[in-house]
Every structure is written in structure tokens, then in C-alpha cells.
């Protein structure tokens, strides 16, 4: 893992639970078989209601204790500003969707679009088929594509964003947005350690926005921005539309609680492998 302790270092690591198989299977049963059996629209209504509690003014009292509990950097919040031009963090949700005061600056032509745990990293050709309800699906399903649309030598990555992580997704490269697709779906629990056989299982079922960026070498970078329980909204950034050019690190979207970001890229990560932490904006 490449250590990137800089003035922009955002403290992305968190405790990864080592769950025994029997307990992982139990949690998977609760997520997939019980919660997953609830109609998707009801899941979203319940999640929206729950997430709305963090919009209430009283919830801002949670911010300081939460920072003391979850971050080693006592000055963590000094790197960020409230969202939407606000002067103060008026709720916990404001903290959750905080903005960097300054984005990281690296010369690399391609960077990580988010921060969190890289829970899966494999070549497309090495990924197994996944059974979703009564269907068997390939990884192309995550991106709303056919198998032939993604070359086998592309690399699939899945970054799990813990609640403590920065929850905005940025462009990994400069280029042109050539596709945007919204896929309604479930909101299964995202914790990768409860899906030991396939940590990316929720990405095959959950609600998501897929965004393709064609870079300056005519290679397509496929992103899938995946929601989970308690996600009130996945919101695309202003100006993100098909045909628009984007620069590296331009904001693409944000999550209101809970998320995962999958990517199918024409190149493999140079400094990271599965089960390491990545930081938004650092070299991919």
C-alpha cells in the first residue's frame, strides 16, 4: 500500500471486522433474504425516513463526538468546509457531505475517484458469475452493460465507503461523459466482510448511477456509484451530463449516507491491492 500522508490526508482507514463465516452468513441472510425481500420502493422510503433524522438541527451535536471517536487527526475537520456554501455545519448530514477546502494535487493522469477500503480488485476475465435472485449475472451487469462492452483485460475495483469516509465521488481522469444511466434497485447492506464469497454482491442488486468517461486516449472508464441502506439520495453534481467534458478530480456525485464505488478501468492500480485503503485524488 502506498502511504500518502500529506496536508490533504483524510484519514480514510477504519476497523475492518473479522467476522467468522457463520456470523457473516447470518448477516448476509438478514441483508439479502429478509431486508432484500422487502419491495425496493419501501426500502427507499424507510431509508429516506431514517436519513432525514440526520438533517435535523439536533444531529449536529453528534459531529464533535463522532470525530473524536473515529479520526486520529484531531484537526480533521479543518480540511473541510460545510456543503452548499453554508457557513456552518447545521446538521450531521452537512458533515457527512462535507467538501474539501482544497482538492489534492497530483501529476498522475488517473487517480482514485473516492476514499475507502478497496475490497475487490481483479481482471474482468477472472471475475465469477453471481447469482442474483433467479438470475446469473456477470460483472457487466453492475455497469448496466453487456459482456462485450467491457474488455476482458480491464480491471474491476470496488471501494467501500465507510460512514466516516468522505462521500463525494470525483472523476478519475479527464475526458468526456459518454453515458449516464440510473438503475433503480434494492438497498442491501454494503459491508463487504459479510459477503465473503463475493464482496461486491450489493453492486449487482442495489440502486446505482453508472457514468462512463472516455479519456483523451479514447479509452472508456466505467464508474458505478452504488447506494445502500439509509441512502436518502445519490445526487449528481451540477453540470454532469452526457457530452460534457470533465477534468480530473471534478466532482461527479455525492451520497447522503452509505455508498460503494465500483470501476472498470483500462489499467490496473499501480500502488494498491485488495484490502488496502485508498484516498481520493491519489495516483490510481
Residue 4, pLDDT > 60, answer: no
| Residue 224: inside a domain | yes
| Residue 127: inside a domain | yes
- Which range of residues forms the domain containing residue 197? 21-278
| Residue 64: inside a domain | yes
Summarize pLDDT for 185-235 with one digit per residue, the tens. 888 888 999 998 889 999 999 999 999 999 999 999 999 999 888 765 678
Confidence of residue 133 (pLDDT cuts 50, 70, 90): low
CA distances from 243 to 216, 224, 234 (A): 14, 18, 21
Show Cβ contacts of residue 79 under 8 Å, excluding neighbours closer than 6 positions. Answer: 8, 10, 100, 101
| Residue 6: inside a domain | no
User: How many residues are given for the chain?
Assistant: 284
**DSSP classification of residue 44:** H
Q: Domains in the chain: how many in total?
A: 1
Closest Cα to residue 98, out of 84, 111, 112? Answer: 84
Higher pLDDT, 45 or 155: 155
Supply the pTM of this predicted model: 0.92
| Residue 176: inside a domain | yes
Give the C-alpha separation, 179 to 192, whole Å: 27
| Residue 34: inside a domain | yes
Summarize pLDDT for 12-46 with one digit per residue, the tens. 888 888 889 999 999 999 999 999 999 988 988 88
Confidence of residue 95 (pLDDT cuts 50, 70, 90): very high
Rounded to the nearest integer, the mean pLDDT of the chain is: 89
| Residue 168: inside a domain | yes
Closest Cα to residue 138, out of 192, 188, 203, 182? Answer: 203
Higher pLDDT, 188 or 266: 266
Q: What is the mean pLDDT of residues 96-122?
A: 91
| Residue 272: inside a domain | yes
Amino acid at each position: 500500500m502506498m502511504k500518502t500522508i500529506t496536508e490533504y490526508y483524510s484519514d480514510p482507514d477504519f476497523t475492518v471486522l473479522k467476522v467468522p463465516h457463520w456470523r457473516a452468513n447470518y448477516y448476509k441472510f438478514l441483508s439479502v433474504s429478509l431486508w432484500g425481500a422487502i419491495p425496493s420502493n419501501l426500502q427507499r422510503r424507510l431509508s429516506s425516513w431514517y436519513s432525514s433524522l440526520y438533517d435535523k438541527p439536533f444531529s449536529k451535536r453528534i459531529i464533535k463526538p463522532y470525530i473524536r471517536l473515529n479520526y486520529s487527526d484531531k484537526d480533521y475537520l479543518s480540511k473541510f468546509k460545510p456543503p452548499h456554501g453554508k457557513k456552518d455545519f447545521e446538521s450531521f448530514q452537512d458533515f457527512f457531505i462535507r467538501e474539501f477546502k482544497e482538492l489534492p494535487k497530483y501529476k498522475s493522469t488517473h487517480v482514485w475517484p473516492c476514499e475507502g477500503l478497496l475490497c475487490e480488485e481483479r481482471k474482468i476475465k477472472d471475475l465469477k458469475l453471481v447469482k442474483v435472485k433467479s438470475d446469473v449475472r456477470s460483472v457487466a451487469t453492475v455497469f448496466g452493460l453487456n459482456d462485450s462492452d467491457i474488455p476482458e483485460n480491464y480491471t474491476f475495483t470496488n471501494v467501500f465507503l465507510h460512514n466516516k469516509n468522505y462521500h463525494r465521488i470525483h472523476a478519475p481522469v479527464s475526458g468526456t461523459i459518454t453515458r449516464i444511466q440510473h438503475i433503480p434497485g434494492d438497498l442491501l447492506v454494503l459491508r463487504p466482510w459479510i459477503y465473503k464469497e463475493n464482496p461486491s454482491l450489493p453492486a449487482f442488486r442495489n440502486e446505482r448511477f453508472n457514468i462512463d468517461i472516455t479519456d483523451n486516449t479514447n479509452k472508456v472508464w466505467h464508474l458505478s456509484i452504488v447506494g445502500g441502506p439509509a441512502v436518502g439520495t445519490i445526487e449528481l453534481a451540477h453540470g454532469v451530463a452526457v457530452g460534457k467534458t470533465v477534468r480530473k478530480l471534478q466532482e461527479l456525485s455525492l451520497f447522503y449516507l452509505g455508498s460503494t464505488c465500483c470501476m472498470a478501468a483500462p489499467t490496473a492500480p499501480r500502488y494498491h491491492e485488495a484490502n488496502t485503503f485508498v484516498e481520493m485524488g491519489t495516483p490510481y
